[in-house]
Amino acid sequence: MPISLQRILALPVQALSWLGGQGTRAIAALVFIGLAVPPLGTLLKPFVTEAVFLLLCISFMRVDTGALRAYLRRPGIVIAATVWTTIGVPLIVGTGAHAAGIDLHAPGLFLALMLQAVASPMMAGPSLAALMGLDATLVLVTLVAGTALIPVTAPLFAYLFLDGVLTLSPLGLGLKLAAILAGAVAVAAAIRWRAGATAIKQHRLPIDGFNILILLVFVAAVMGDVAAKVLADPVGMIGLAALAFAVSVLLLAVTMLIFRRLGRDRALALGMMVSQRNMGLMLAATDGVVPGTTWLYFALCQFPIYLAPQLLKPLVRRVSAPAMPAVTEAADA
C-alpha cells in the first residue's frame, strides 16, 4: 500500500521526537560529532550567530511565566545568585588572570577567559537541571535575571579588563547583546502568542529534537579545527582542555560552597548553571571575530559543558532531595 501523505509529513516530527527523547546522551554526543567531522564545522561556522539566536528564541519560548512569578515573590536567593554569576565571577576571573599576567603573555587566552566570565549562564541550564532532577525553577529565574543584566555588565567588565584586546567597543558589545536578546524575546513572545503555551508543552519532544539539531550547528562550528590542532600541537591542546575542565570544576565547586546553606541539591543546580557559560552569545555579539586561541578555548569548553550531565549523575543521585518542580523540559547554548 502506498504511504499516505500524512504519514510522510509526520516522519520529520517523529524523527525529532526520537532525537529529543535521547536527552543528555544526545547532548554529550554532539561534541564527539563535531570533533569527528571537521568539514561539518567548516560548513556551519558562518551560521553561529543565527544558531545562537534560535537557541535563545527556543529557551525564551519555553519559559513558564507562572513559575517565574512564584520565585520572584521571594527574590533573595535569586538576587544573590544573580550578583554572583554576573558580577562576582567576572570580577574574580579578571582580577586573577590580570594578576597572573595572562593578559600580557597570552592575550588570546585572556580574552577567552574574560568572555567566558562575563557571559550569562547557558540557556540550556534550566533544561539540563530538569533532566537531572534538580531545581530548574531557581536556575531559570536566575538565568533570566542574569541575562537581562548582560548588556550592562559585559560592557562594564570589557572596559575594565579588555581595553585594546576586544575589537568591538564596550558600548558596541552592549548594544549588540541587547539587540540579540530583545530580538529573541520578541520572536519567542510571538510564537507563544500564536501557538500557545499548551501546544508548546505538548510538542516538547520534537522541540527538544530541533533544539539538539541547532546545538549541533554551534558545537560543530566551534569544534571544526580542534582535531587538526590536536594533531599539530597535542601537548598545548591537552593543556588548554585541562584548563577548560579546571575552570568549569572550580566554578561549580565554589558556587556550591557559597550556596551550601540552600541545600546540596539547590547548590548543585546553581553550580552547574554558573559553570556552564553562554559563550555562544559572546561569539554572536562579536560576530565570531576573535583570535584563534580564543576560538579554540571556547571549542574545548564544550567538553565539560556537554559531558557534565552524564559525569555528574552519581553526584546528583547522592544530593538530590525528592523531586523539585521542573520549569522547562528540554535542552539548548
pLDDT tens for the chain, residues 1 to 333: 455 656 666 777 788 888 877 766 777 788 888 888 888 878 887 887 788 788 778 878 877 777 677 767 778 888 999 999 999 999 999 999 988 988 888 888 998 899 899 988 887 677 667 667 777 778 878 887 888 888 888 888 888 887 666 665 667 777 777 888 888 889 989 998 888 888 888 888 888 888 888 888 878 887 777 778 888 888 888 999 999 999 999 999 999 999 999 888 888 889 988 998 888 777 777 766 677 788 888 888 888 887 877 777 777 667 654 444 433 333 344
Please answer whether residues 256 and 81 qualify as being in contact, where contact means their C-beta atoms are separated by less than 8 angstroms: no
pTM of the model: 0.76
pLDDT number for residue 170:
63
Closest CA to 34 of 295, 300, 311, 286: 300
333 occurs within a structural domain:
no
C-alpha cell at 252: 561549580
Please answer whether residues 136 and 130 qualify as being in contact, where contact means their C-beta atoms are separated by less than 8 angstroms: yes
135 occurs within a structural domain:
yes
Integer Cα distance of 109 and 295 in angstroms: 9
C-alpha cell at 176: 549588540
**Boundaries of domain holding 173:** 23-318
324 occurs within a structural domain:
no
18 occurs within a structural domain:
no
327 occurs within a structural domain:
no
Query: What CATH number did the domain enclosing 110 receive?
Result: 1.20.1530.20
Question: What is residue 326's DSSP assignment?
Answer: P
Give the count of domains, the chain.
1
Per DSSP (E only), the strands in 81-150 are none
9 occurs within a structural domain:
no
256 occurs within a structural domain:
yes
pLDDT number for residue 329:
36
CA angle at 213 for the pair 297 and 33, rounded to the nearest 5°:
50
326 occurs within a structural domain:
no
184-189 contact pairs (CB < 8 A, 24+): 184/53, 184/56, 184/57, 184/60, 185/60, 187/57, 187/61, 188/56, 188/57, 188/58, 188/59, 188/60, 188/61, 188/63, 189/60
Integer Cα distance of 144 and 273 in angstroms: 12
C-alpha cell at 275: 559553570
